[in-house]
Chains A and B, each alone.
Chain A
Amino acid sequence: MDDIAIKVDQVAKEFKLPHEKHTSVKSAFINTVRGSKRSIERQSVLKDISFEVKKGEFFGIVGRNGSGKSTLLKMLAGIYEPTAGSIQVNGRLTPFIELGVGFNPELTGRENVFLNGALLGFNRKEMSAMYDAIVQFAELEKFMDQKLKNYSSGMQVRLAFAIAIQANTDILLLDEVLAVGDAAFQQKCTEYFEKIKSEGKTVILVTHDMGAVERFCTRALLIKTGNIEVLGDPKDVAKKYTIENYKVFSKEKSLTETVKSLKVNVNKATLTNKEKLVVDIEYELAKDKPVYMGISLIISGISVIEHNSKSIKIGHEKNKKYRVRYEVPLERLNKSEVRLDVAMFDEKSQQLVGYQTNAANFIISGKDDAHKGGVILSDGMWSKK
């Protein structure tokens, strides 16, 4: 237990969501008299989460919006109580769910530093010891006796972040606070993360930035709909997260009076370039009109493969479902994220009659080759002359 900073044991969290919130005694009374429980919905946000964070770990928590990661963080911070299970924290924990909590625009920078410090659990003496470092980090030496309302938003954020990272604590909880400030300040923050990492402080970071996860985290956790999806290597977590995100990438569809429906499916969300991509397309026309289909694979905004179906004359009777398949080997492509667009054209007029962009998205995975990049795998060679 000594080397464990946080132990989360079978934690579950449920929220009671009243459909019409009774914020009045009358409705609460009426509901009690009626005995109606119908109006309360239980929403289970986290189900049976267990993990441990060891001392000195840089632990990442990632997940899509609504996955429950913020709820988990709030429970770690002691803001929410778990519905079931237990959380043990070993050491002094300082949460930063939001920067500059309790900042008051009417107080001066100096006063706000002490107020914010007190809210985080530091007394005046401790804050005085950290004060100079905070001001220096925030680069606000000249402004500390001005009221906060006269600060620019960037200055406020800098001050808040400076307090957060100067906080002398055992365990830091950080929620999406990396994305603040200008490039120079970001650089300072990055350096700071490197520093606390080397100092062996325990950090828990909730973020959407997979770059940060891969760079700083020693271990990471991916949450999906309240369950642990992956726990372990930050690279695996980052990869899985990226795939998850691609799956739900917004599909943009446009159908006209000619095309009634257009469905696109790919065989896999992740393929290696040794595999074949198989695209199944189902469509239905509202008018009997000869059409052809076009498909395009887009990597980094460049259409790398385009192919139309003119060679096979696809069916065009109205109100009848047709299925077509497109197969292509990916051996010439390097590892990348691919977007797939499908379009239908009128054969006579060549006009677009329906399309779907982001119809399916997938990842081509491959071995990391430190020497080769780009979209296309090449057999290029270097030699000395």
Chain B
Amino acid sequence: MLNRILSKQNRALLSELVRTDFKLRYQGSVLGYAWSLLRPLFIFIILYVVFVKVLKSGGAIPHFPIYLLLGIVIWNFFTEMTQQSLTSIVGRGDLIRKIRIPRWIIVFSSSISAVINVGLNLIIVGIFMLINHVDLYKTVILLPLIFIEVYMFALGVSLFLAAAFVKFRDVSYIWEVFLQAGFYLTPILYSLSIVPKLLYQKIILMNPMAQAIQDARWATVTHDTVTGWKLLDGGWYAYIPLVVVVLVLLGGLAYFRSQASSFAENI
């Protein structure tokens, strides 16, 4: 099975699609690839100025700028990947109608582009960490695991959205609203401790994105971060976010597979 998925042809196709995507991204710009680092850099500087210098939010949280950036990077990764994947199948309709390629590769290649981007963003975060003199915890080695979790979650959602978008074009608008709501329901710009009731904090942490962002902050920036593991204190429901991730991934895969054979007709 895995052999077939990662066959020579599929690997070649995947690398070619990702390569093309990257080549075209900064097409026609003078600075070219430099933008993939400059863009997050400038955006982070703006956020830094607004939230740390002007609004002075963050209060007692140590290394708040990094705390904030890490949350934003993870959230943006999720947003970018799902939004790009959503239109990926329809956007590549010309290929799907004229050539035989595994459909999942299209979604997969747009997810890889998002992964590369988040990697570049993390480099910038690393630079900010150096400037901020953040002492690295040993727990930072957990960070890749957290990213794998977010990736799996985003992939499940992406597969579902990409397949649904072929049939229902309003999925893109619905998803935009969802993402906006999700952004404020996830403790990205605010710290979880400002949420009044403990119950609400617990409910918020059932969302895999909130759990992942808080865990990443705990592992990298400060152990003071409120995480589900602390709050729920070993209760079984601390695992709910992980179960959600697995279910979303399997559900997304199943839906995508059931629809994939009729993409060519429905686009």
Contacts and interface: CB of A to CB of B under 8 A. Distances in A.
A161 B169 CA distance: 35
B98 A28 contact: no
B261 A123 contact: no
A124 to B, nearest CB: 6
Contacts of A28: 167-168
Contacts of A115: 16, 20
A107 interface: yes
A80 B167 CA distance: 16
A122 B16 CA distance: 11
Interface residues of B, number: 31
A93 B96 CA distance: 16
A118 B17 contact: yes
B168 A23 contact: yes
Contacts of B97: 79, 97
B13 A119 contact: yes
Contact of A74 (B24, B168, B169, B264): B264
A118 B19 CA distance: 11
A98 interface: yes
Given A23-B168, A95-B100, A107 B20 contact: yes
A79 B23 contact: no
A93 B101 CA distance: 12
A25 B168 contact: yes
Nearest to A76: B100
Given A111-B23, A115-B20, A102 B95 contact: yes
Nearest to B263: A79
A175 to B, nearest CB: 9
A256 B11 CA distance: 69
B100 A106 contact: no
B99 interface: yes
Contact of A95 (B11, B12, B99, B170): B99
Closest 10 interchain pairs by CB?
A123-B12, A118-B16, A78-B100, A121-B9, A81-B261, A23-B169, A97-B98, A118-B13, A101-B98, A118-B12
Given A77-B100, A104-B20, A121-B9, 11 more contacts: A23-B168, A23-B169, A24-B168, A26-B170, A79-B96, A111-B20, A119-B99, A119-B101, A121-B13, A122-B9, A124-B15
